[in-house]
């Protein structure tokens, strides 16, 4: 089937646009969620880091205040000369006081000229120029902090605090200097460290680093960076010289001019967030794939839907055209049948009156033969229009198909091979077995004519359960149980333009001597009458496959009936004859009188029904036309069943509309005959009904 949807059309792009917009909105929501999660993680870490920094700063401040109080107590002792500093006693005195101050390692008394007056250890004091603020201008109550320095015998750096004193052992005063291990400035950071990536450093406010944790690559070097940090907010994101980015929290110990810096590496801080972001990205990628697959599936479904809609529209157009042709053909056939009825009826009576050996009898035989050929043609037209007076009975389909194939196998042209696959024994249909025979014969004959050079003729019969409505090439198939009859050939195939007119009456691709073009039209009528659909699959040059879907019947087969002899005559039984054509009423009366019956004719259906209602027991049967103004024959039958349920009704019809046999059976019609009716045929039917 041709593509009915341009891939670049807006309707084809719509699933992609909708899917893309949906994914974009989801990605936007996921991004917003991740950003919110990142902000929450950063805020949480900031609170934790801020609390830790504040605690460490407070701890350092309290520790340094303790050292300061100890040094001031020593100054008081010096001034009051209560600190023994005589030779041999000074070292022990200072050592004792150093041991009383937990953070202090070594004590010195340094004179105003820089000379050591007394010390708790033999090591020299730090360079007095390493202190800030400058010792020469240091106020009496202020403290100065030195740079980190090394001392012999010690493996770690130390820093020193200095406090000015006046008088005492140095005439011009001096400074009390206390050396502290630099690591003591870090306090309990090692125990309170929140994560392995957390770092701490202590600076003087001039940028000199006093102490820091090991491997502190993320910490600023001495100088301007610390001052820049001090000038900024207490909590900030900072990028350092090595390219790393950290969350930095800074607090200042104003009394001692010290900055306490605590930091965490962002790459480690956001590890959990990064894992969530990666998982989200993976989910979004998978969702993008799913949306792309879904959009493609929707596009394909839309494309199939459009193709199905086009196929359905084509099928409806074909069905509407065939229905219109059937209605037209049925109307013409009805009027033509009435003409043929008069020709056949009066021709038979004229033939009875003529000398069998005369030219008149011979001419009348020719007239009747022509009339009967016309009747056969009309019957085929009525088969297409589904308006013929045909039998409606339950029969097995496989024996009918088998009979057709047996007939064909004896007349196959050289080069044609017949393949049969019939595997539905006992499968039944409701309809006319004669017409089913004709439909199978027409399909098989068409298949053989499509293979002038020989080939395989394949006939298959199978059961098929249709669970959902299905669109066929020339029908719409409702759900149900069907018998699928397929006839396939290896001929020239069917072209698209021929496919459009395939089942139209009188349409043929062969010469006028090869057929009338009614074969496939009859097949269409038979399938429509039984109930089902037709599917034709073909490509030019690759053969064709015709599949008839015939609705399966579950009704039991009819029992065999004993038919009366064909020459049975009437015995004066009264019959009511009804037809809207006065000429046909007169013809029937004359024929029935000749057959030994007592006919009573009517041309008005209401008058006939009234007569039946008044005297139902006076009549042995009713003969009525179907297509009449007012009441139709089936409507008349349905009405009289209220008061004469057992009265036989013989329905004569030239054209009764679609599904006449089914409607007649439902109304209670006993027998149907197609116009024009031959006298012998009428006699047999009446014998079955009346006797």
| Chain segment 61-76, per-residue pLDDT in tens | 999 999 999 999 988 8
Residue 594 lies in a domain: yes
Q: How confident is the model at residue 152 (pLDDT cuts 50, 70, 90)?
A: confident
Whole-number Å distance between alpha carbons of 688 and 683: 9
pLDDT the model gives residue 624: 92
* 513 pLDDT higher than 60: no
Same domain flag for 58 and 11: yes
- Mean pLDDT taken over the chain: 80
Least confident of 282-296, 485-499, 506-520, 667-681: 506-520
Q: Give CA separation, 425 vs 36, 241, 401, 421, in Å.
A: 73, 93, 11, 11
Q: What is the mean pLDDT of residues 33-40?
A: 86
Q: Which of 516, 551, 586 is the last residue of a domain?
A: 551
Dihedral sign, Cα of residue 395, residue 401, residue 403, residue 407: positive
Joined tokens for residue 610? 């009234």
Same domain? For 489 and 618 the reply is no
> To the nearest whole percent, how much of the chain has pLDDT over 70?
80
Provide the pLDDT for residue 433.
83
**Residue 642 included in any domain:** yes
Q: Residue 562 above 60 pLDDT? A: no
Label the pairing between strands 106-111 and 174-181.
antiparallel
Question: Are 29 and 115 within one domain?
Answer: yes
CATH number at residue 679: 3.40.50.2300
The answer on 148 and 17 residing in a single domain is yes
Percent of the chain surpassing pLDDT 90: 17
Q: How confident is the model at residue 576 (pLDDT cuts 50, 70, 90)?
A: very high
| pLDDT exceeds 70 at position 173 | yes
Higher pLDDT pick, 387 / 543? 543
* Residue numbers of the domain that contains 625: 574-690
Flag whether pLDDT at 191 surpasses 70.
Answer: no
User: What confidence tier does 218 reach under pLDDT thresholds 50, 70, 90?
Assistant: very low
In contact, 162 and 144? CB cutoff 8 Å: yes
The reported pLDDT for the residue numbered 609 is: 92
Task: Specify the DSSP element, H or E, that contains 338.
Answer: helix 271-353
Residues 54 and 93 in one domain: yes
147 and 22 within one domain: yes
pLDDT band at 2 (very low <50, low <70, confident <90, very high): very low
For the segment 444-459, what is each residue's pLDDT rounded down to a tens digit? 888 888 888 888 889 9
In this prediction, residue 223 has a pLDDT band, given cuts at 50, 70 and 90, of very low
Q: Is residue 149 part of a domain?
A: yes
Q: Is residue 322 part of a domain?
A: no
Pairwise pLDDT comparison (22 vs 332), residue with the higher score: 22
**What is the pLDDT at residue 667?**
87
Q: What is the tens place of the pLDDT at every residue in 237-246? A: 777 666 677 8
Question: Tell me, what's the pLDDT at 568?
Answer: 63
DSSP tag of 139: -
pLDDT attached to residue 221: 46
Please give the pLDDT value at position 9.
58
Tell me what pLDDT residue 219 has.
44
Q: What is the pLDDT of residues 346-377, one digit of tens each?
A: 777 777 777 777 878 777 777 777 766 666 66
Task: Specify the CATH number for the domain of residue 496.
Answer: 3.30.565.10
CATH for 115: 3.30.450.20
Mean pLDDT of 590-617: 91
Residue 88 Ramachandran class (φ > 0 left, ψ -120 to 50 alpha, else beta): left
Check residues 412 and 105 and name the one with the higher pLDDT: 105
Cross-strand bridge partners of residue 265: 246
Tell which of 204, 238, 269 closes a domain: 269
pLDDT at 564: 47
Q: Number of structural domains, the chain?
A: 3
Residue 685 above 60 pLDDT?
A: yes
What pLDDT score does 514 carry?
Answer: 47
* Structure confidence at residue 42 (pLDDT): 83
Same domain, 486 and 517: yes
* Per-residue pLDDT at 3 exceeds 50: no
Give me the pLDDT at residue 512, please.
45
Q: Which residues contact 170 (CB under 8 A, 6 or more apart)?
A: 109, 111, 112, 117
Does the pLDDT of residue 131 top 60, yes or no? yes
Sheet of 480-489, strands arranged across: 416-422, 455-466, 480-489, 544-551, 532-538
Highest mean pLDDT among 59-63, 386-390, 517-521: 59-63
Same domain, residue pair 119 and 6:
yes
CA distances from 156 to 102, 381, 558 (A): 17, 119, 118
pLDDT surpasses 60 at 198: yes
11 with 149, same domain?
A: yes
- Strand, coil or helix: 387: coil
pLDDT bracket for residue 405 (50, 70, 90): confident
Structure confidence at residue 381 (pLDDT): 61
Across residues 28-46, what is the average pLDDT? 86
- pLDDT of 168: 63
pLDDT at residue number 318: 61
| 21 vs 525, residue with greater confidence | 21
* Listed residues 269, 286, 314: the one ending a domain: 269
> What separation, in Å, do the N-terminal and C-terminal C-alpha atoms of the chain show?
59
């Amino acid at each position: 089937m041709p593509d009915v949807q341009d891939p670049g059309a807006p309707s084809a792009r719509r699933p992609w646009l909708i899917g893309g917009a949906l994914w974009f909105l989801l990605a936007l929501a996921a991004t917003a969620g991740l950003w919110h999660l990142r902000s929450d993680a950063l805020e949480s870490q900031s609170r934790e880091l801020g609390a830790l920094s504040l605690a460490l700063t407070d701890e350092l401040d309290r520790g340094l205040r303790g050292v300061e109080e100890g040094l001031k107590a020593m100054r008081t002792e010096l001034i009051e000369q209560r600190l023994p500093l005589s030779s041999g006693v000074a070292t022990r005195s200072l050592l004792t006081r150093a041991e009383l101050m937990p953070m202090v390692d070594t004590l010195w008394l340094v004179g105003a000229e820089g000379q050591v007056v007394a010390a708790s250890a033999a090591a020299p004091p730090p360079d007095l120029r390493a202190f800030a603020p400058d010792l020469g201008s240091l106020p009496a109550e202020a403290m100065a902090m030195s740079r980190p320095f090394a001392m012999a015998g010690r493996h770690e750096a130390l820093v020193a605090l200095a406090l000015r004193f006046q008088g005492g052992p140095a005439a011009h005063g001096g400074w009390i200097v206390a050396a502290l291990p630099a690591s003591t400035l870090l306090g309990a950071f090692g125990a309170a460290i929140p994560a392995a990536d957390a770092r701490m450093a202590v600076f003087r406010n001039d940028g000199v680093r006093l102490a820091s944790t090991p491997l502190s690559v993320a910490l600023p070097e001495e100088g301007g960076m610390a001052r820049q940090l001090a000038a900024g907010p207490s909590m900030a994101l900072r990028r350092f010289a090595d390219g790393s980015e950290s969350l930095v929290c800074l607090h200042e110990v104003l009394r001692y001019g010290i900055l306490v810096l605590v930091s965490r590496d962002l790459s480690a801080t956001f590890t959990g967030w990064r894992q969530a972001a990666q998982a989200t990205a993976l989910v979004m990628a998978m969702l993008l794939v799913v949306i792309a697959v879904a959009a493609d599936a929707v596009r394909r479904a839309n494309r199939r839907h459009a193709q199905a809609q086009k196929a359905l529209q084509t099928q409806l157009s074909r069905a509407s055209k065939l229905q219109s042709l059937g209605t037209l053909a049925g109307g013409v056939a009805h009027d033509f049948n009435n003409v043929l009825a008069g020709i056949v009826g009066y021709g038979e009576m004229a033939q009875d009156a003529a000398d069998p050996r005369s030219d008149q009898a011979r001419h009348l035989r020719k007239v009747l033969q022509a009339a009967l050929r016309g009747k056969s043609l009309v019957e085929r037209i009525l088969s297409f229009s589904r308006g013929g007076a045909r039998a409606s009975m339950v029969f097995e389909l496989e024996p009918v198909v088998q009979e057709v194939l047996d007939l064909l196998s004896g007349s196959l042209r050289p080069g044609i091979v017949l393949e049969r696959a019939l595997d539905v024994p006992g499968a039944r249909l409701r309809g006319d077995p004669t017409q089913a025979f004709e439909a199978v014969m027409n399909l098989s004959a068409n298949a053989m004519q499509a293979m002038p050079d020989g080939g395989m003729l394949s006939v298959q019969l199978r059961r098929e359960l249709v669970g959902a409505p299905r669109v066929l090439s020339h029908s719409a198939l409702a759900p149900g149980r069907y018998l699928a009859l397929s006839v396939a050939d290896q001929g020239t195939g069917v072209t698209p333009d021929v496919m459009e007119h395939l089942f139209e009456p009188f349409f043929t691709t062969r010469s006028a001597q090869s057929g009338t073009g009614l074969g496939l039209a009859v097949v269409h009528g038979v399938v429509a009458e039984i109930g089902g659909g037709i599917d034709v699959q073909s490509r030019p040059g690759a053969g064709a496959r015709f599949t008839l879907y015939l609705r399966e019947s579950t009704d039991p087969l009819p029992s065999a009936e004993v038919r009366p002899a064909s020459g049975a005559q009437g015995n004066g039984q009264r019959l009511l004859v009804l037809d809207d054509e006065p000429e046909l009423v007169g013809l029937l009366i004359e024929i029935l009188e000749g057959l030994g019956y007592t006919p009573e004719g009517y041309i008005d259906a209401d008058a006939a029904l009234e007569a039946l209602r008044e005297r139902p027991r006076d009549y042995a049967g009713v003969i009525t036309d179907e297509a009449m103004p007012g009441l139709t024959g089936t409507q008349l039958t349905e009405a009289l069943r209220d008061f004469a349920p057992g009265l036989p009704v013989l329905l004569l019809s030239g054209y009764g509309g679609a599904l006449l046999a089914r409607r007649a059976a439902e109304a209670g019609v006993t027998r149907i005959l197609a116009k024009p009716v031959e006298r012998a045929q009428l006699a047999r039917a009446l014998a079955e009904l009346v006797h």
